[in-house]
């Protein structure tokens, strides 16, 4: 197996080589800009890894891997407009650096460019690969819309939340793995198992993110503790807490999550205290571990070289901080 580090280097080289027309400058420069401000290239790396895992030629998978990265950055460009976000990875977002119309239209053409890249597969794979890509893209849009609708709802159920994060985050990981597997020579059955591995892992990963926001070591995690609480975000922790809370706890939570409060530290401490009373960290970890287990079961069932399985398992473990 090619190491993750080598894959990331290869992807970054190829991203830098992507060429677009010079004009209209305000259509294409934002694409180069958002792609240049980085990220870990995890999604295209997963696509290449899946190809490699079946002993496929990763050079044949590089354009589809770029397609996944361009698509992902298209969603970031439009999400940043919708979220009114001034910064992305510490740099000005496209709609801030240029303007909103530039962000909309550059994003649109990025989506088309991602199709152009994804089409660079053999004729036999063209239709199946694009079908997966279409379903993935629709899922991501549905997930984003559902997430926005959650902001104004107070009756979100755990299952709805899981489905939202599955669509918004996990289907793209699953889609990348399935496409990479098919290019690497996997049959549909094995590629679909790899997709399941990716989706379930993606859900587990997002749940871990929810936990770390409250219980993570801020030095390691690199984010402010309680950021989700302060922004009144509906996370697994909050939804589960509202489900388990008694009348008094429920009223207290609803009070903290309505409007803004002048003392952020106090708010984070009070909410965390209720989470602790309800053993929310434990419940969230159980859910996370359950999705991770599903992921590993799917991976175990894939018919691929043992070495590949071990590698992917190791990769997944490194993503997850497994807590017992």
Q: Are strands 91-92 and 87-88 parallel, antiparallel or unpaired?
A: antiparallel
**Closer of 148 and 321 to its own copies (Cβ):** 148
Handedness of CA 203, 207, 210, 213 (dihedral sign): negative
In angstroms, give the least distance from the CB of 184 to its own copies.
21
In angstroms, give the least distance from the CB of 89 to its own copies.
21
Percent helix, percent strand, percent coil in the chain, to nearest 5: 75, 0, 25
In angstroms, give the least distance from the CB of 67 to its own copies.
12
In angstroms, give the least distance from the CB of 173 to its own copies.
18
**Closer of 183 and 193 to its own copies (Cβ):** 183
H helices present in 168-320, as ranges: 171-184, 188-215, 218-221, 227-230, 236-244, 247-256, 264-277, 280-301, 306-319
Neighbours of 263 (CB within 10 A): 9
Distances (CA, A) of 157 to 47, 235, 244, 252, 275: 32, 11, 12, 19, 17
Q: Cα–Cα distance between 4 and 25 in angstroms, integer?
A: 34
**Closer of 151 and 293 to its own copies (Cβ):** 151
Which candidate, 77, 69, 64, places its Cα nearest to that of 30?
77
**Closer of 44 and 143 to its own copies (Cβ):** 143
Distances (CA, A) of 206 to 105, 228, 283: 29, 13, 15
Residue partners of 200: CB distance under 8 A and separation at least 6: 170, 291, 292, 294, 295, 298
**Closer of 22 and 306 to its own copies (Cβ):** 22
**Closer of 15 and 117 to its own copies (Cβ):** 117
**Closer of 144 and 206 to its own copies (Cβ):** 144
In angstroms, give the least distance from the CB of 152 to its own copies.
11
In angstroms, give the least distance from the CB of 137 to its own copies.
5
**Closer of 28 and 256 to its own copies (Cβ):** 28
Torsion angle of C-alpha atoms 278, 282, 286, 292, degrees rounded to 10: 130
CB–CB of 184/53 below 8 Å?
Answer: yes
In angstroms, give the least distance from the CB of 134 to its own copies.
5
Neighbours of 302 (CB within 10 A): 23
Binding site for its own copies (CB under 8 A): 21, 23-24, 26-27, 78, 81-82, 101-102, 104-105, 107-109, 111-113, 115-116, 119, 123, 126-127, 130-131, 134, 137-138, 141-142, 144-146, 148-149
In angstroms, give the least distance from the CB of 168 to its own copies.
12
């Amino acid at each position: 197996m090619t190491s993750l580090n080598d894959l990331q280097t290869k992807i970054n080289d190829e991203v830098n080589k992507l060429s677009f027309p010079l004009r209209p400058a305000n259509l294409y420069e934002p694409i180069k800009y958002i792609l240049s401000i980085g990220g870990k290239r995890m999604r295209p790396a997963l696509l290449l890894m899946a190809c490699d895992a079946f002993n496929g030629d990763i050079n044949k998978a590089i354009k589809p891997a770029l397609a996944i990265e361009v698509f992902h950055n298209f969603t970031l460009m439009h999400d940043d407009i919708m979220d009114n976000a001034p910064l992305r990875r510490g740099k000005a977002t496209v709609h801030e650096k240029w303007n909103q119309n530039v962000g909309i239209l550059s994003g649109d053409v990025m989506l088309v460019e991602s199709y152009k890249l994804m089409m660079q597969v053999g004729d036999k794979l063209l239709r199946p690969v694009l079908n997966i890509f279409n379903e993935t893209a629709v899922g991501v849009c549905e997930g984003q819309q559902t997430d926005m609708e959650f902001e104004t709802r107070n009756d979100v159920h755990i299952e709805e939340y899981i489905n939202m994060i599955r669509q918004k985050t996990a289907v793209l990981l699953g889609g990348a793995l399935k496409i990479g597997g098919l290019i690497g020579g996997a049959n549909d059955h094995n590629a679909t198992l790899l997709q399941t591995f990716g989706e379930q892992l993606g859900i587990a990963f997002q749940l871990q993110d929810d936990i770390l926001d409250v219980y993570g070591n801020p030095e390691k995690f690199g984010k402010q503790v309680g950021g989700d609480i302060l922004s009144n975000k509906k996370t697994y922790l909050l939804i589960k807490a509202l489900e388990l809370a008694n009348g008094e706890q429920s009223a207290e939570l609803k009070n903290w999550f309505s409007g803004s409060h002048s003392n952020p530290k106090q708010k984070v401490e009070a909410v965390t205290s209720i989470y602790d009373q309800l053993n929310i960290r434990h419940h969230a970890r159980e859910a996370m571990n359950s999705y991770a287990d599903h992921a590993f079961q799917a991976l175990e069932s894939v018919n691929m070289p043992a070495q590949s399985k071990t590698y992917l398992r190791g990769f997944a473990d490194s993503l997850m901080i497994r807590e017992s």
